[in-house]
Amino acid sequence: MKTMPIMSNQKPKNKPKTDFRKSAGIIVFRNKNGARGAREYLLLEYGENGHWDYAKGGIERNENEKQAAIRELREETGLAEFKFVEGFKESLHYFFRDKKRLVSKTVVFFLGEVPFKSKVTLSFEHSKFVWLPFEEALRRATFNNAKEMLRKAEEFLKAKEK
């Protein structure tokens, strides 16, 4: 039996369609008593999947990246009082499957500081939250790309302290 090769102008029949999505979030930290080096990072446990990550979500129509990050932070944590750390903007990219579609996702992260006694009020999306020093937060974060974002945030803050 002879097989015919697929010609370069022919498309495979079952190639999955790719969705492109963009999200924004904020890596949140606080300083104990305003002291340098006593930083704690906020991690959220996503109830559905049980992974630990940051407040983030999709960019809605007529929003820019910062507006989406602020909205997501408020919706997911109730935190409204914070200040952006200027100069920090990092992004990551990954693929995942959503039903039968391949999703290409880019997430843009900013860095934000909240007052030490800020009260977190979780949304339905999360089951727990925790404030942790850098090394412990690094161990708790589930995904390698979240760990890498945390490393970048910590390095950025240390460089600003010098």
Q: Model confidence over 90-131: pLDDT tens digits?
A: 999 988 888 878 989 999 999 999 999 899 999 988 899 999
Burial of 84 (0-12, 13-18, 19+ CB in 10 A): middle
- Give the H or E element holding residue 66: helix 65-77
Is residue 40 pLDDT above 90, yes or no? yes
Contact indicator for 110, 70 with CB cutoff of 8 Å: no
User: At residue 36, does pLDDT exceed 80?
Assistant: no
Average pLDDT, integer, range 155-160: 94
Share of the chain above pLDDT 70, in %: 87
* Average pLDDT estimate for 54-80: 96
Confidence of residue 69 (pLDDT cuts 50, 70, 90): very high
> Rounded distance, CA 95 to CA 47, Å?
21
- pLDDT over 90 at 76, yes or no: yes
In the three-class reduction of DSSP (H, G, I as helix; E, B as strand; rest coil), residue 97 is classed as: strand
Phi, psi at 14, each rounded to 5°: -105, 30
Asked whether residue 88 carries a pLDDT value surpassing 70, the answer given is yes
Of 71, 42, 54, the C-alpha closest to 133 is 42
Higher pLDDT residue, 111 or 16?
A: 111
- Report the Cα 41 to chain-centroid distance in Å: 13
Q: What is the residue-averaged pLDDT of the chain? A: 88
Residue type, 112: G
Report, at the CATH architecture level, how domain 19-161 is classified. Alpha-Beta Complex (3.90)
